[in-house]
Amino acid sequence: MKIRYLLMNAYGVGGTIRTVINQANALAADHDVELVSVFRTGDRPRFPVDPRVRTRALADLRGPRWRHPVRDWLRHRPSSLVPPAEVRYATFSRLSDQKIVRYLRSLDGGVLVTTRPALNLLSARYAPRNVVRVAQEHMYLRSHKPELVAEIARWYPRLDAVVSLTDADAVEYAALLDGAPARLATIPNGLTPADRAPAALDGGIVVAAGRLTRQKGFDLLIKAFAEVVADHPGWQLRIYGDGREHGRLRRLIHRLHLYNHAFLMGGTTTLEQELAKGAMFVLSSRYEGFGMVLIEAMAHGLPVVSFDCPHGPADIVTHGRDGLLVPPEDVSALAAAMKSLIGDSSLRHALGEAARMSVRRYDMDGIRLAWERLFAELHAGATRVG
Amino acid sequence: MTSRHAEVEQVWPRDGRVLVIGRIVDAALTPPARTTAILTLTNRDRPDLVLSCPATVDGGRFRAAFPIELVVSAVACREIGGRQVWDLHLRLPGDPEPLRVGRHLDDIRDKKKVMTFPAQTSEAPAGAVSVKPYYTVMRNLSLISRPVHS
């Protein structure tokens, strides 16, 4: 099968980019896989790409502006095809409009997977009917602005499939696209195989990770940890990640006199090693697309404490079995859950071991099969009709 | 890191004081029983300018606290302007070599950026001065004092 992944920028760093490249790599052994990046901002992708995956870019943004006057002029004209309500509207332009539409119209057969709302909408509008068009949702329907949801309701019914990360989100899509021929499916992100060191469950370190933005709720976590330290002064909180909230979070740590206990560790390229130093992992997000980092932590045998926020944690964690779920944005409940794990070493070990076993359902092998099965069914259907 | 130093465990810059708690790391030294040592603050540009305060040492552990007034009044009385760096040492009784105060025995490398402390401010005749502990790139503990422009 010929499978093409269209993403906005394969040369950046981010959860969607990493997930899509992992998927392309997993399918490369048995299929003809191409990674198509709308923009090219670097010489090579920042995440490892399997050599069997071909890569191409539609709009190469490298090189000086004066050498590419037409490109530069088009690039600074706003897109007329991407809805302004798309979060990344400003990244798209007349240049990308032209390149994407020309690319989509040139396709003939095979599977096209698009990876964000702007691209999903363009695929629905411009890709030929003999192409199997699969849209991926890497956040969730309710995370989009109403104007964008209206566009989704209008155009997604033309697609062959819309794939969500969680069942809860698939239900939302089913309600919106009621009766449309587009197939709705749930396929979570896969856990790539790796040697994962078992976690240091008695090491006294609480680990959290994510971009330092309001979404990730590290302000709530720091406040909760102040309550924890009052009872357990030997414990330490380490938050991995960079982002625009860094200064604000640091001032919060200073104000709460947590400078001996809570640390903003900065970004790391060796998160796996840092996760393994933890005695527990905490997810304090106000919302998530999925919460992949929870799965990665659990794969190390780390017990997790997570807000039961939309979307993902409740799919991934079974409360009391492989982790603890607490009501979203409830600082005291988060603190209480951390304290209960700190105070009970055998509970940490029991939840951690259960976590390690339960996330096997996200192993890339199984996720790859789910994608293959979906593509094969849609492909067979398209061939019969065509 | 040298073979002997004063390993910091906690630094508490609050309530107008800076409290430093840690332990003495020295293979050759038998931990002294309860005794009094001296914590010194040496001005990096003027090595003859050394401030000191008492420290308690007990079974290899140390604890020392000084009011930020100690630094603020020294800056005011010598009429030193601008940003000043002060390096912290622990002087044990009968030991000619002071121990540098620092934090070397954990896995956090980039301490200067990761382990940061708030500044405290005190009024002085020539204007307010702020005092802030920080880790150097060598992971030793120092202080920065500087005038606060309002």
User: Is residue A291 within a helix (H) or strand (E), and if so which, with residue range?
Assistant: none
Residue A245 has pLDDT above 90, yes or no: yes
- Listed by start position, the domains of chain A span 2-190+363-385, 205-362
pLDDT at B31: 67
Give which of A361, A297, A287 is closest to A323, Cα–Cα.
A297
**pLDDT tens digits, A177-207:** 998 889 999 999 999 888 899 999 999 999 9
Please write down the long-range contacts of B29-38, taking CB distance under 8 Å and 24 or more positions apart. B29/B4, B29/B92, B31/B59, B31/B60, B32/B57, B32/B60, B32/B92, B32/B93, B33/B58, B33/B59, B34/B58, B34/B59, B35/B92, B35/B93, B36/B93, B37/B62, B37/B64, B37/B90, B37/B91, B37/B92, B37/B93, B38/B90, B38/B91
Contact list, A265 vs chain B (CB under 8 Å): 108, 114
- Return the number of CB contacts < 8 Å for A and B: 27
Task: Say if the Cβ atoms of A266 and B113 lie within 8 Å.
Answer: yes
SS3 of residue A286 by DSSP: coil
> Are A136 and A111 in contact, with CB atoms under 8 Å apart?
no
What residues contact residue A183 under an 8 Å CB cut-off, 6+ apart? A160, A161, A162, A374, A378
Domains A2-190+363-385 and A205-362 in one fold: yes
Residue A38 has pLDDT above 80, yes or no: yes
Query: Residue A148: how many CB atoms within 10 A of its CB?
Result: 21
More confidently predicted of A13 and B143 = B143
Contact list, A255 vs chain B (CB under 8 Å): 118
Residues 195-224 of A with CB under 8 A from B: none
Angle, vertex CA A361, rays to CA A360 and CA A365, nearest 5: 85
Instruction: Indicate the DSSP class of residue A189.
Output: P
Of B9, B12, B115, the CB nearest to A263: B115
Nearest chain A residue (CA) to B19: A260
User: Which of A203-212, A219-228, A234-243, B89-98 is predicted with the least confidence, judged by mean pLDDT?
Assistant: B89-98
Residue B1 has pLDDT above 70, yes or no: no
CB-based contact, A101 to chain B, within 8 Å: no
Contact list, A246 vs chain B (CB under 8 Å): none
Contact list, B118 vs chain A (CB under 8 Å): 254-255, 259
> How far does B79 lie from chain A, in Å, by closest CA?
30
Residue B30 has pLDDT above 90, yes or no: no
> Phi, psi (5° rounding) for residue A228?
-65, -45
**pLDDT tens digits, A73-122:** 999 999 999 999 999 999 999 999 999 999 999 999 999 999 999 999 99
User: Which of A71-75, A324-328, B27-31 is predicted with the least confidence, judged by mean pLDDT?
Assistant: B27-31
Is the previous residue joined to A311 through a cis bond, with omega within 30 degrees of 0?
yes
The count of residues in chain B is 150
Contact list, A264 vs chain B (CB under 8 Å): 114
Of A250, A257, A264, the CB nearest to B14: A257
> Phi, psi (5° rounding) for residue A159?
-75, 165
**Residue among B115, B121, B132, B139 with most chain A CBs within 10 A, to mutate:** B115
Residues 269-308 of A with CB under 8 A from B: 277
Of B10, B11, B114, the CB nearest to A265: B114
**pLDDT tens digits, B41-100:** 999 999 999 999 999 999 899 999 999 999 999 988 888 888 999 999 999 988 889 999
CB-based contact, B15 to chain A, within 8 Å: no
The token pair that represents B124 in the structure block: 């002085």
**Residue among A249, A254, A256 with most chain B CBs within 10 A, to mutate:** A254
Of B9, B13, B114, the CB nearest to A266: B114
Give the distance, in angstroms, between the CA of residue A277 and the centroid of all CA atoms in the same chain: 24
Q: Pairing relation of β-strands A161-164 and A132-136?
A: parallel
CATH number of A2-190+363-385: 3.40.50.2000
Residue B16 Ramachandran class (φ > 0 left, ψ -120 to 50 alpha, else beta): left
Write the DSSP assignment of A63-101 as a string of letters.
S-GGG-HHHHHHHTSBPSSS-TTSTTGGG-BHHHHHHHH
For the A205-362 domain, the top CATH level (class) is alpha beta
> Are A134 and A161 in contact, with CB atoms under 8 Å apart?
yes
